[in-house]
Amino acid sequence: MNVHIEDRRLLPIREKVEAGVRLSYDDGVALYRSGDLLAIGYLANLVRERMHGDVTYFNVNRHINHTDVCVASCRLCAFGKQKRDPNSYTMTLEQVWETAGKGWSEAITEFHIVGGLHPELSLDWFCQMLRGLKERYPQIHLKAFTMVEIGYFARREKISVREVLERLRDSGMDSLPGGGAEVFSERVRRIICDHKLTGDEWLETARTAHELGLNSNCTMLYGHIENEEDRVDHLVRLRALQDDTHGFVTFIPLAFHPDNTALSHIPKTTGFDDLKNIAIARLMLDNVPHIKAYWVMLTPKIAQIALRFGANDIDGTVVEEKIYHDAGSTVSQSLRRGELLRLIRLAGRTPVERDTLYRPVQRTETAFTVLV
Ligand code: SF4
């Protein structure tokens, strides 16, 4: 197909993409600086279809946010609260196990579990939480804890990250969701999340998880104070780690939601920037199998269009989302399986329900089988 490329600076990039040659840091910056969104989307779609054809994945999952109490006060965050805040909450173990079973009728395949950095919950408590979930829901994959939570558990317990990961894995953690990466630039992190892991520590934690046989996702929070170079640097550092470990399953660009954060003066991202981030991720991360258009952050409408701009996954049913709703997300907290199917089909794509590790799932309403 001969697509008109308006921005002549993209012509050498097009040649590389067509020949399957890896893009450089400078190519990434050129892509971000270009306004030729349709050309960038076309190139990303080329790669997406080369890797996945028309197939578009989704899953039937439930989020669990066990506490919003957090010792960090990241300026980017509307979710974390001080323990003394009367609006904060922390579930008991019984409440976590009970919540896990609520809000869904179609059998779910994954629990996505993340929370704040609670000063009093011990690693034993989290191990018990995982074991209790596995006992009650043995078939459901436990995708749990950001790299930031893992780092905090290690600091709190005065043990290594490796030991934390081993203990969580042995208690039932199957993989990690890959949050807390934000943007790796130290200049940016000092302003938006100065109490968090450094970028290098985030990457090292992911490396250790992968070495222990735990897959993870990876993310980038964009649309705050980062610049184009910061974004490309972030992608290139993820790509370098992936060359070593092959442990990342999917990349999720996360649009910053400023409402109720200390950065509420920053305008929300635009659809143009959202689609560009999806597309550039697909082009730069040539070794990460999947790119996800997370509908909670993008809105289902933009996420659907993203399926033609490089994304091959639209995320899942979610059931109950708190983190981005605290930051002003106005979309529904959940989408039914049928609605995900409709969005994918109306984008001209072929829906495939997957488990967390992208194995196809065959189901009835109340049961499922993972096709290995
Ligand atoms: S972003 Fe995470 S670590 Fe930072 S305040 Fe919010 S919940 Fe805590």
188-198 per-position pLDDT tens digit: 999 999 888 99
- Averaged pLDDT for residues 113-138: 97
pLDDT at 329: 74
* Residue 233 banded pLDDT, cuts 50, 70, 90: very high
* Residue 323 banded pLDDT, cuts 50, 70, 90: confident
- Of the candidates 141, 140, 152, the one whose C-alpha atom is nearest the C-alpha of residue 67 is 152
58: its two tokens: 């989704």
- Averaged pLDDT for residues 217-234: 97
Cα→Cα distances 50→20, 46, 93, 312, Å: 10, 6, 45, 11
E strand or H helix that includes residue 358: none
Residue minimizing CA distance to atom 4 of ligand 1:
74
Q: Which of 117, 183, 322 to mutate to test the pocket of ligand 1 (most atoms within 8 A of CB)?
A: 117
Q: Is 108 exposed, middle or buried (0-12, 13-18, 19+ CB in 10 A)?
A: buried
pLDDT at 160: 98
pTM tops 0.75 = yes
Q: What is the DSSP string of 30-66?
A: HHHH---HHHHHHHHHHHHHHHHTTEEEEE-EEEE--
Instruction: Looking at the CA of residue 68, tell me the nearest atom of ligand 1.
Output: 7
Residue 13 DSSP symbol: H
Could you give the CA distance from residue 87 to residue 326 in angstroms, rounded to a whole number? Answer: 12
Instruction: Please tell me if the CB atom of residue 78 comes closer than 6 angstroms to any atom of ligand 1.
Output: no
3-state secondary structure 165-212: HHHHHHHCCCEECCCCCCCCCHHHHHHHCCCCCCHHHHHHHHHHHHHC
Could you give the CA distance from residue 202 to residue 180 in angstroms, rounded to a whole number? Answer: 8
CA of 73 to the centre of ligand 1 (A): 6
Could you give the CA distance from residue 26 to residue 6 in angstroms, rounded to a whole number? Answer: 19
